[in-house]
Amino acid sequence: MRREPVESSAIASIGYAPEMAVLEIEFVGGGQYRYFAVPPSIHRALMDADSVGQAFITLIRDRYPTERIE
């Protein structure tokens, strides 16, 4: 999955596969995770947020099934 760099002190890049509703996040610290069953509206809200890191905490963390990929 192709990820886009984002401006955040916590998140380096974000990718999304709408056909599978899978979100990938690469953190600045090096961890990469997949989040499953993420609706397109949540991905868009994350990408449009003034603070991507805060939006991640509010909208995604601990809300969707997760898999560490690296």
Q: State residue 70's pLDDT score.
A: 73
Q: Which domain holds residue 53?
A: 3-68
Handedness of CA 56, 62, 66, 69 (dihedral sign): positive
Given a contact cutoff of 8 angstroms between Cβ atoms, the answer to whether 52 and 27 are in contact is no
Give 32's strand partners.
Answer: 26
Q: Report the domain count for the chain.
A: 1
pTM: 0.93
Q: State residue 32's pLDDT score.
A: 97
Q: Tens of pLDDT along 9-64?
A: 999 999 999 999 999 999 999 899 999 999 999 999 999 999 999 999 999 999 99
